[in-house]
Structure 1
C-alpha cells in the first residue's frame, strides 16, 4: 500500500479530541518540474487552444499524493478565517435546487443571501459578490477534467484562487468605483462554498490550515483570459500540510474560504488564504452516493479600519 504522505505528527488543537481521519489522495504540482519553471512561469489558458498551433492549455503537470484529511465535525469553532484561513457556518437559502440552473436567480437572489451570510459571520461593513461557479460532477469525466460552463468539475489539485498582486488588480480593473471607495479599508476575498445536495459523499472539499504552509510551497500561476490576466497559487507537496473537511457536509453548511487579506501586510499572524482541494471519498460504495453538486460565490469583503 502506498505510504501516507502527510506528516503523522499530531499537535493541533483538535487532536486532543481524537478526530476521525479519512485517507485519500490529491494532486500537487509535479516536483520533477521545479527546474523547468525557473525559465517558464506556470500558466493555464482559460480559452480554447485547439485552433492555435503550438499552444498548450497548460504547462503545469501534477503528481498524486496519498494524504490524511481530518474531520472537524463537532469542532468547527476551532477554525476561523483569521487563524486558519477558513471557517464553516450554517447557511439557509430560499432557492430551490432547480433555481441554481438559472444565472439570473443566482445573481439577483442568491448573491443577496451570500451577502447576509458573510455580514452575519464576520464584522465586515460591505460585501461585493463578483463571480460564481456551479460544479456538477460527471462520473464519466477524468479526474483532471475541468468540465464545461455550468458543469464544471470538482478541482482535484490543491490551489488558492488569488495571489496578493492579482487580488487588488482584479478589484481596480473590474470594480473601479469600489476600489476608489474602499482602497483604504481592510479588504478580503472570501469564497462561500456550499453543496447543492447533501450530505456530500462524492468529491468533498478539503481545507489546508494556512499555518502549515511554507512560503516556498506556493507557486504563482498565470490564468489567461481573452481580456484579462489573472494569477493563482499552485503548490508544491509538503508533508506538513494539514488538511481538514466536514464529513457528510450538508447543503445548509457553507465553507468560508479566504483567498486574500490586505491586513496581512501589517500582521503576518493573520492567515492570508487557505489552500483547498476536492478529494475522492473512499468510505462508501459509488452506488450509494449522488455525484457532487455545489456552488461557490466569490466576494470582496470590506472592513472599516
Structure 2
C-alpha cells in the first residue's frame, strides 16, 4: 500500500481539498487493565456521581496516531476491517431540526444504505442521536457532546440481550437468530468535520481477547453491556479528514457470524485534533440499527 503523503500541521487549507492527507498525533482515552475482563457499574446501589467517579478512575490517556484514510477508502470494508466509508447523499440535511425529518427521511435512507452494504433483508433502527455540543464535562449527561472514550456500543453478550428488548417475542427472536444478526452504526457529519472527528480501530489490528473489557451497566430499568478497551501499540486507528455529510462511515457493533472472533464490536472514539480545538462544535448524527439476514 502506498504511504499517504502527510501535510504540514496548521495549514489553513487542509479541509478545502479532498486530495490532502492529514494524519493526527493525539491522545485517546482507554481503560486501565482491570483484574477481571468484566467490570460492573451498578447505578441502583450507589449514587450516579459515585458510579461515574469509579468509572473515571479506569481512564488513562495514551498517545495515538490517527491515520487519515482519505484516498484509500476503498481498501477497507465492513467485513474485513469492521468499518466502511461510503458515498451516500441524503437531501436537505439542514432540515434535521425539523420535526419528523430524521424519522421520515434520514433513517429510512440510512436503512436502505445498510441493507445494500450488508445484504440484510430487514433492518430495525433502535436509536439515533444528534451530537452538536462542545466538549464539556457538564454537558455529557445529555448525550449530545462527542464521546471522548474508546468504546463499543455493545459486547456480544450485550447485543444479544438488547435484541430481547427490540424483538420481545421469543418465537420471532428465535427465527431471527437462525440467520445472521448484526448491529450497525451509521455515522455522518451534518457539516464538514473539523473539531472532534470520529476515529475507528481496524478490527484486524485488535486482539479482542487481550484488549477488550466487558462493562456491564445496571440501571433501574435493566442492564446493558458495552465494550471498553485497553491500549496496545498494535492497534491501528483511522479517520477521514474533512469528512462531509455525503461521506458516512458504517461500522459494526455486533455480528453473530463473528461471535467466535469477539463479535466484531468495533472500538471507536471522538478525538482532539490540535489544529481545530477552537473550531465550532461538531455536528453529526449516528443511527444504530439491527440488520437481519
Q: TM-score with structure 2 length normalisation?
A: 0.83
Structure 2 residue aligned with 1:156 = 148
Structure 2 residue 210 is the aligned partner of structure 1 residue 213: no
Structure 2 residue aligned with 1:108 = 104
Give yes or no for contact 1:47–1:225 (8 Å, CA) kept in 2. Answer: no
Q: TM-score with structure 1 length normalisation?
A: 0.80
> How far 1:17 sits from its partner (Å)?
4.5
- Partners in 1 of 2:43 and 2:139 — Cα distance? 14
- Partners in 1 of 2:186 and 2:115 — Cα distance? 12
- Partners in 2 of 1:48 and 1:93 — Cα distance? 44
- Partners in 2 of 1:67 and 1:246 — Cα distance? 16
- Of 190, 196, 209, the residue aligned with 1:196 is 190
Q: Deviation per CA, 1:239-269: give whole Å up to 9, x if none.
A: 1110000001011111111011011146x4x
- Partners in 2 of 1:100 and 1:219 — Cα distance? 36
Total equivalences in the alignment: 273
> How far 1:272 sits from its partner (Å)?
1.3
> How far 1:57 sits from its partner (Å)?
2.9
- Partners in 2 of 1:181 and 1:158 — Cα distance? 33
Q: Deviation per CA, 1:206-226: give whole Å up to 9, x if none.
A: 010111111111000012333
User: Tell me, which stretches of 5 or more residues in structure 2 are unaligned?
Assistant: 6-20
Distance 1:105 1:180, change over 3 A: farther
- Of 265, 268, 275, the residue aligned with 2:267 is 275
Q: Deviation per CA, 1:137-194: give whole Å up to 9, x if none.
A: 325x13x962415xx2111111111111111111123313552442211111010001
Give the ranges of 4+ consecutive aligned residues of structure 1 lying more than 4 Å apart after TM superposition: 15-20, 44-48
**1:106 counterpart SS class:** helix
Structure 1 residue aligned with 2:227 = 233
Structure 1 residue aligned with 2:89 = 92
Instruction: Indicate the RMSD between aligned Cα atoms, in angstroms.
Output: 2.7
Higher helix share: 2
- Partners in 1 of 2:166 and 2:254 — Cα distance? 17
Structure 1 residue aligned with 2:245 = 251
- Of 286, 290, 295, the residue aligned with 2:285 is 295
> How far 1:113 sits from its partner (Å)?
1.1
User: Tell me, which stretches of 5 or more residues in structure 1 are unaligned?
Assistant: 1-12
Structure 2 residue aligned with 1:74 = 71
**2:110 counterpart SS class:** helix
Structure 2 residue aligned with 1:7 = none
Give yes or no for contact 1:162–1:260 (8 Å, CA) kept in 2. Answer: yes
Give yes or no for contact 1:160–1:274 (8 Å, CA) kept in 2. Answer: yes
- Partners in 2 of 1:265 and 1:169 — Cα distance? 14
Give yes or no for contact 2:40–2:218 (8 Å, CA) kept in 1. Answer: no
- Of 160, 168, 180, the residue aligned with 1:168 is 160
